[in-house]
Homo-oligomer: A and B are copies of this chain.
Amino acid sequence: MSHLTDIEIARNAKKRPIAEIGERLGIEEAALVPFGHDKAKVSADFIESVADRPNGKLILVTAINPTPAGEGKTTTTVGLGDGLNAIGKKAAICIREASLGPCFGMKGGAAGGGYAQVVPMEEMNLHFTGDFHAITSAHNLLSAMIDNHIYWGNDLEIDERRVVWRRVMDMNDRALRDTVTSLGGVANGFPRQTGFDITVASEVMAILCLATDLADLQKRLGDIIVAYRRDRSPIYARDIKADGAMTVLLQQAMQPNLVQTLENNPAFVHGGPFANIAHGCNSVIATTTALKLADYVVTEAGFGADLGAEKFMNIKCRKAGIAPDVVVLVATVRAMKMNGGVAKQDLGEENVSAVEAGCPNLGRHIENVKSFGVPVVVAINHFSGDTEAEVDAVKAYVEAQGSEAILCKHWEKGSAGVTDLASRVAELADSGAAQFAPLYPDEMSLFDKIDTIAKRIYRADEVLADKKIRDQLRQWEEDGYGNLPICMAKTQYSFSTDPSLRGAPTGHGVPIREVRLSAGAGFVVAICGEIMTMPGLPRIPSAEQIGLNESGEIEGLF
């Protein structure tokens, strides 16, 4: 097995010119907008030109509830894409872009790991093709135009206390969470309390990832609620006349980015909304474009299946009119052991009974995903210390649930380690077995949608929401927002709202602390617990170690 680090493997990659990768998908060179020699955007004209083609098969990779052991969801997404190509299928993967800010706090997240990675790794963790910077600019232009409107006379009668649109920065900067702006006198406007979120938490990010084209993008941007009047009537970005300029700032960012895996297979990396207050999936336009160009598209959703897959199904698929043909649920022996009560430092020791004790978390995710009418395969992402007995325990458990689990060694071996999974996934996708249906209909009331998710996915006994929250939901229904799906913001570590409650808990309540309307993105956010939308830096931020070495290579980022 490999003794190289992820970054060493990535640097050794024999990348092909991006035009060659595009050619594999039938994209002529003129339809690619290159960013360096190894990244390109796919032009809007080209995307429009393939709109009438039939779709390939859609494969969602999701996972159990994350544990500190690491599950390898992106690694498996990349490995499976390579595996499908290795068995002769025309496959592409679709994953999210990384946020720049957090890379300067903790070490940066690579796109995959081992021999299942997307490259160029450094650039993907830094400015990449500038999409997030464009989102930051578009978001903050709207912010500036709101304050400017108030400054010049406030014709729209914005209640300055009820401006809900904040500013964003792609940086971990706790000092910006809560600020007072417009100090310093008349020339600087009317002081008010506001703050910054990190760019990935911007509704503009969620909108870009759900918009089907530029016209839809502009419509959604116009629909953003930025403030309220004293009579509580909403003011939209359209009223501020910011939607056109925001669209111009995002025109290029709307084009999906094409890069490649270590095995030179096509990878779309586009968009990266938060998986709590937003839906946590790569862009609709990347996924739908990939479906026109490849026979199999492997994509992933944020966090575990309770959040990521649920939102993928109920928000992304519903909005985009797409449906998964098969779902791959990633699990690891180590994560099963942690769910079974083993501490992180003891994960190296064989412990079959702990594996067995941890399996119910996996079992519930299998059940949940099946309830959407989609076949499920469990991918056991192999770690070097896993014993055969432990792997067999997971397999046996999954089989007892009427599903199947396949051991994968893509981290160690690339596509050669994942052909079994690839073959089975292709077979299931081709079988037409999937009968996808979202969990709830558009017409269901907002509260009932929350209740349905809580009871059917989280297996809670009840949803706890006070009168104010129920009234707010009813008000939105009266205002015409009742048909929106729900975006749950909950801890990713448990089915419940208590992060320490591992396994497959029952009997819990789901308290709704707050609800928010993302009218542009088109969902209602139900917040259960503390949600951090602007991270801070740790005591010793990784930025302190980041620098260029004598060869001009980046050190300390990974």
Binding site for B on A (CB under 8 A): 30, 33-37, 44, 100, 104, 126-127, 130, 133-134, 136-137, 140-141, 143-145, 147-148, 151-153, 167, 169-184, 187-189, 193, 195, 214, 218, 241-245, 247-249, 251-252, 536-537, 539, 541, 543-548, 552, 554, 556-557
Contacts and interface: CB of A to CB of B under 8 A. Distances in A.
Given A34-B36, A141-B543, A183-B180, A175 B189 contact: yes
A130 B176 CA distance: 23
A248 B546 CA distance: 7
Nearest 10 A/B pairs, CB to CB: A244-B547, A178-B184, A133-B133, A144-B173, A245-B543, A241-B544, A245-B546, A147-B175, A178-B183, A148-B537
Given A35-B35, A179-B182, A187-B536, 17 more contacts: A100-B137, A127-B249, A130-B130, A130-B133, A133-B137, A140-B171, A151-B536, A174-B187, A174-B188, A176-B181, A177-B188, A178-B184, A179-B179, A180-B183, A244-B544, A245-B547, A248-B557
A433 B399 CA distance: 89
Contacts of A187: 174, 536
A171 B144 contact: yes
Given A133-B133, A144-B537, A171-B137, A104 B245 contact: yes
| Most chain B CB neighbours (cut-off 10 Å) among A176, A180, A195, A545 | A176
| Most chain B CB neighbours (cut-off 10 Å) among A136, A141, A214, A252 | A141
Contacts of A248: 126, 546-548, 554, 557
Prevailing SS type, chain A contact patch: mixed
Contact of A130 (B127, B141, B536, B556): B127
Contacts of A552: 44, 214, 251
A181 B137 CA distance: 21
Nearest to A144: B173
A175 B152 contact: no
A183 B174 contact: no
A192 B290 CA distance: 49
Contacts of A242: 543-544
A546 B127 contact: no
A193 B183 contact: yes
A240 to B, nearest CB: 8
B140 A548 contact: no
A214 B249 CA distance: 30
A534 to B, nearest CB: 9
B182 A178 contact: yes
Nearest to A177: B188
Contacts of A184: 177-178, 195
Contacts of A137: 100, 127, 133, 170-171
